[in-house]
């Protein structure tokens, strides 16, 4: 309760900010997109991890306003980097269950793209597998409508939930993000097999496969060999503040 009050205060006084982690084409290692990640430094100067405060924001409903703020700010930053010469970049934002279930979500999304003047194709909503596959029928309906508006859709943290393959096949996802836990255990024979299976599954279903949490050259090489299309991870770039990102992009190639 105390933490929720602090979170609300921090949000209302503009203390939350976004970090951006680049996504790379696995073959060319060009930057192809960014993922916006919420950051909160509390009043004692301690970074509170999203895994701790996002669930609070979800339970209290604060996530709806917060999610809208994330999208607006991430899109504003996208406009900025695209106009600085990175005209092909897309922006991924994490989308929570409370946003997905909100009765006015479709109107809110349409209103938002009008207001911030963005092509929704440039915005990728990342939805965790666990959420997407819970209440499949309800989600299918709303995800299909979100897709109809033009947004890109990713199934995030894939492999940690229990997807029914028949539903996954029917869901309108463009991208499959392999959970970082699988990337990080891919140096064992069974770990490698699992990653291979997930990459193949994504390809079979016609999805673009993105591996998260790539920390070593060996993992990168393996993923390329397996046919994964994009990568994200500390090996290539960490999440960065707006200013850091601007500097980083300017010195990139």
Q: Which residues contribute to the site for ligand G (CB under 6 A)? A: 21, 37-38, 49-51, 54, 67, 70, 94, 96, 126, 156-157, 180, 212-215, 232-234, 239
Gap between the Cα atoms of 239 and 244, Å rounded:
9
Interface residue list for Mn ion (CB under 5 A): 94, 126, 156
Burial 149-182 (b: 16+ CB within 10 A, else e): eebbbbbbbbbebebeeeebeebebbbbbbbbeb
Footprint on residues 176-235 left by Na ion (CB under 5 A): 212
Decide which of ligand G, Mn ion, Na ion, none touches 77; Cβ closer than 5 to 8 Å per partner kind.
none
**Least distance to Mn ion, CB of residue 198, Å:** 16
- Taking the CA of residue 83 as centre, how many other CA atoms within 13 Å lie in the half-sphere pointing to its CB? 7
**Least distance to ligand G, CB of residue 110, Å:** 20
Decide which of Na ion, ligand G, Mn ion, none touches 215; Cβ closer than 5 to 8 Å per partner kind.
ligand G
Query: Please, what is the Cα angle at 247 between 241 and 252, to 5 degrees?
Result: 115
**Least distance to ligand G, CB of residue 173, Å:** 15
Gap between the Cα atoms of 121 and 11, Å rounded:
28
Total chain residues near Na ion (CB under 5 A): 3
Closer Cβ to ligand G, 72 or 215, answer by number: 215
Strand stretches in 165-226, DSSP E: 175-178, 208-211
Gap between the Cα atoms of 211 and 204, Å rounded:
16
To 10 degrees, what angle do helices 62-83 and 2-12 make? Answer: 40
**Least distance to Mn ion, CB of residue 44, Å:** 27
Q: Which two tokens stand for residue 36?
A: 């916006």
Footprint on residues 13-72 left by Na ion (CB under 5 A): none
Segment interacting with Na ion (CB under 5 A) among 38-46, 58-66, 141-149, 153-161: 153-161
Q: Does 157 bind Na ion (CB under 5 A)?
A: yes
Closer Cβ to Na ion, 113 or 143, answer by number: 143
- Name the closest residue to Mn ion (Cβ): 126
Gap between the Cα atoms of 25 and 6, Å rounded:
39
**Least distance to ligand G, CB of residue 127, Å:** 9
**Least distance to Na ion, CB of residue 115, Å:** 28
Gap between the Cα atoms of 183 and 204, Å rounded:
19
Q: Where do contacts with Na ion occur on this chain (CB under 5 A)? A: 156-157, 212
């Amino acid at each position: 309760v105390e933490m929720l009050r602090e979170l609300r205060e921090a949000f209302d006084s503009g203390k939350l900010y976004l970090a951006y982690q680049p996504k790379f084409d696995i073959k060319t290692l060009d930057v192809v997109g960014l993922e916006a990640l919420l950051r909160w430094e509390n009043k004692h100067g301690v970074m509170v991890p999203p895994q701790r405060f996002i669930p609070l924001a979800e339970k209290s409903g604060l996530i709806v306003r917060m999610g809208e703020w994330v999208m607006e700010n991430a899109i504003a930053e996208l406009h900025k980097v695209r106009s600085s010469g990175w005209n092909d970049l897309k922006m991924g934002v994490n989308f929570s269950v409370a946003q997905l279930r909100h009765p006015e979500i479709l109107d809110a999304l349409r209103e938002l793209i009008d207001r911030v003047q963005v092509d929704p194709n440039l915005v990728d909503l990342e939805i965790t597998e666990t959420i997407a596959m819970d209440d499949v029928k309800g989600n299918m309906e709303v995800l299909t409508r979100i897709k109809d508006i033009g947004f890109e859709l990713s199934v995030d943290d894939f492999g940690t939930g229990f997807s029914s393959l028949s539903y996954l096949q029917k869901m309108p996802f463009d991208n499959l993000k392999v959970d970082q836990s699988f990337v990080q255990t891919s140096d064992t024979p069974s770990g490698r097999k699992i990653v291979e299976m997930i990459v193949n599954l994504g390809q079979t279903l016609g999805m673009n496969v993105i591996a998260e949490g790539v920390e070593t050259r060996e993992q990168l090489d393996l993923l390329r060999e397996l046919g994964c299309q994009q990568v994200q991870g500390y090996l290539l770039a960490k999440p960065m503040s707006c200013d850091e990102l601007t500097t980083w992009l300017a010195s990139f190639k």
